[in-house]
Structure 1
């Protein structure tokens, strides 16, 4: 019994230290946001003297974080919708349909995962500029779709590969077309994977800074994360306001993770558990 308890402590202590290291930055940021500028200059690590919400109100109103939040919601919703549509279609085709070149296409999607965005950012900016899509919502949505589609296709192909082919064969015998098999059979069966991949794609798009900075230069079209970056320069002498803006940007991601942590974990492991 004693060795078993000792083994549990050996696992629990590092996990507790890791949890503390993860939670402490959020607690520290929240504490800084509650302080006045004078309190922060005197001692940044001491507890705030009172619960003050002025920093959050300033970040939301004067720094225009509300508009940035709305921009992020529009872009993320549009990007995730396109990613799930195209990713599920491609995953179904690559896993269940037999056609020449399917293996090469899948390997191409897999290879695209290893291409850093910095390699394609200049051609992308030129193409978007020539198409008149710079500083527009559709332009950023298309850029996110192109950037994260290989990941979505990979996970959906891996998931759909685990569905027996007899199911799709039976659906075709019942008179379903290829589209009918996809819409009536594969989409309902793929809901767990679609939810997991959709959450991961939403996190990727929400946390992006580089693509949004490149394609959304005007202040009124900034996403929330680029707005936080600009907030650091605008309120460099007012760290509590900057901390309030950081928390405003972090809260939606934290809530998403708290409510869907199981789906996020299953999405991460989908590619390794599905044949």
Structure 2
């Protein structure tokens, strides 16, 4: 077989892969363009031409969504709750992953299996007992209640990821630190935590996405003082909706997360791959 024939087949194979991938990428990019395009329209222009490109761009929708719709207050609530929840998830999951992967104690494997099994339970199944628990603890309409809720719901996946990562690290590092007289907390802080930084960064980004985009849990816990995503959902009217205003709010809410994802996308993919392979 000639080199020309082999090269021709490789080009055909490349085109056969590239064209479907380009179409899939287009389906992902178009909703972003659609939202941004409509956010720059006036309500009148949107009604006259919903799918056309904006002819007279205006930023009035962004200003109105940020000021009159209290999105600035909702944005602050989301930032506080997301940051504190992610910090709690990183610390607790790192400690739990270190214990499950490195230490040897009774029922260790059973505890890990229970954590894995909890990943299969849909959130909707436990909403009623969860809501009663929040009321019983006096955490309804408090940021602390939402932070604890996010930590509880997203902790199983976080522990699984960190356990898988720590299980792939050489045990000789822990043994060497113990021989040098380091306590378990010192081993975790000075050895495991620095080496687990790639997985922790991935974990932080993923949990930021989960907490920031959540509506269901936030709607149950913070019924008066809303988070950003709940506030944006409230921009929809009962009978009519100002779509440009709604899409402007969506763009404002999505912008920080999109930027965060674009900056750290390689670390996210590599971290997920590590969690899937090791352990």
Query: Which category of TM-score, normalised to the shorter sequence, fits these structures?
Result: over 0.9
**Does the 8 Å contact 2:66/2:249 carry over to 1?**
yes
Task: Map Cα deviations across residues 196-254 of structure 1 (whole Å, 9 max, x no partner).
Answer: 11111111111111000111100xx2111111111123794311111100111111111
Counterparts in 2 of 1:87-102, with a 5 A limit? Answer: 87-102=93-108
Root-mean-square deviation over aligned CA pairs = 1.1
**Does the 8 Å contact 1:200/1:267 carry over to 2?**
no
Number of matched residues?
A: 273
Given the alignment of the two structures, is residue 187 of structure 1 paired with residue 193 of structure 2, yes or no?
Answer: yes
Counterpart CA distance in 1 for 2:239 and 2:35 is 15
Counterparts in 2 of 1:98-117, with a 5 A limit? Answer: 98-117=104-123
Given the alignment of the two structures, is residue 267 of structure 1 paired with residue 268 of structure 2, yes or no?
Answer: no
Partner of 2:4 in structure 1? none
Counterpart CA distance in 2 for 1:172 and 1:70 is 44
Residue 269 of structure 1: how far off its partner (Å): 2.0
Counterparts in 2 of 1:229-244, with a 5 A limit? Answer: 229-233=233-237, 236-244=240-248
5+ long unaligned stretches in structure 1: none
Structure 1 length-normalised TM: 0.97
Structure 2 length-normalised TM: 0.95
**1:193 alignment partner, SS class:** helix
Given the alignment of the two structures, is residue 254 of structure 1 paired with residue 258 of structure 2, yes or no?
Answer: yes
**Does the 8 Å contact 2:90/2:158 carry over to 1?**
yes
5+ long unaligned stretches in structure 2: 1-6
**Does the 8 Å contact 2:235/2:241 carry over to 1?**
no
Residue 50 of structure 1: how far off its partner (Å): 1.9
**Does the 8 Å contact 1:235/1:242 carry over to 2?**
no
**Range moving further from structure 2, 134-143 or 45-54:** 45-54
Counterpart CA distance in 2 for 1:266 and 1:236 is 44
Partner of 1:78 in structure 2? 84
